[in-house]
Homo-oligomer: A and B are copies of this chain.
Amino acid sequence: MHLSQPYLLFLGDAPDHLAAKTARGIHQWRPDICVGQLRLPGCETTLGLPDLTVEEAAARGAATLVVGVANRGGVIADHWRAVFKDALANGLDIAAGLHQKLNDIPELVETAEEYGRMLFDVRHPTETFPVAHGVPRPGKRILAVGTDCSVGKMYAMLAMERTMKARGLKADFRATGQTGILIAGEGVSVDAVVADFISGATEVLCPANDDDHYDLVEGQGSLFHASYAGVSLGLLHGAQPDYLVLCHEPGRAHMRGLPGFALPDLDACMDLNLRCARLVNPEARFVGACFNTSALDDDAARRVMHEASERLGLPVVDPVRSGVEPLVDRVLGDA
């Protein structure tokens, strides 16, 4: 899965900011690869990028139209298709991370074939992967693990990548979910591969590298999530992390989608992740935690992070409020 860049970001008729959060994430983390946005009548949000037609975007070098809007059910709206066919006719590929596949819509497939363009459904891997071998490999890998789903694992790893690159380090974000793949332009949606190959796909995603290179591997789910823990464990083994970052949202009432399940204690979560990680890397250790404190005011956020930091003996940050420098310091202090 490798997307051509730069992108034209399709916002469609997004009724609010939240509906366009995929486009927002791409623009936030990779502003240099976004040549413009394409909005339809009814769109109530903007990224502040130039509004371009497909023709204008093509003239500015856009290589892929990225569907940066999600509607209810993750389907491709009928009235988007004319724009998509226009994009293909103007030499752009199309990439989407929706449940419904671009490749399941015959008129898009035909048009793509006619113009020799590609349709990328980043949620649905098309490659086949080997079984994981578990053999230690060079290069350093940092993995975000969570107390739950949707606690900021992607954000944490993108923030660390940016901070490490700003310090002149060799660092690459490795995407394991659809938004991450659209941001990185490549990656593997590990929760969509065949179960036997979760770890193998992850080994392919973050392969052997230079000794002073850091892969920042996006985590998925949680070892404590009764629906998805298998994905999390396979990803943990395949990533073979040297360093782990605990991701957590304080105050969440229960595990996402599972009202009967409380969130795990931070210590229990770290302990189980370490224990499993050390099967493939006995040196694995935590360098800190990233809290999503967006529901708290400044004082409450500071207090909850301070308390956790004291208890865990590790830096605890909110990447949005204050960045991830202390975690990068920990990684480098160890080098």
Contacts and interface: CB of A to CB of B under 8 A. Distances in A.
B190 A195 contact: yes
B227 A233 contact: no
Determine how many copies of this chain the complex contains.
2
24 contacts: A131-B227, A131-B228, A131-B257, A134-B258, A192-B195, A193-B194, A194-B195, A195-B198, A195-B230, A195-B234, A196-B231, A199-B226, A199-B229, A199-B230, A226-B237, A226-B279, A226-B280, A229-B279, A230-B231, A230-B232, A230-B235, A231-B234, A233-B233, A272-B275
Interface residues of A, number: 38
Interface string A179-199: 000000000001111111011
Interface of A: 131-136, 190-196, 198-200, 223-224, 226-235, 237, 257-258, 260-261, 272, 275-276, 279-280
A136 B259 CA distance: 12
A147 to B, nearest CB: 13
Given A233-B233, A272-B275, A275-B272, A228 B196 contact: yes
A134 B260 contact: yes
Contacts of A193: 194-195
A132 B257 CA distance: 10
Given A134-B258, A134-B261, A260-B134, A229 B276 contact: yes
B230 A234 contact: yes
Contacts of A234: 195, 229-231
A280 to B, nearest CB: 5
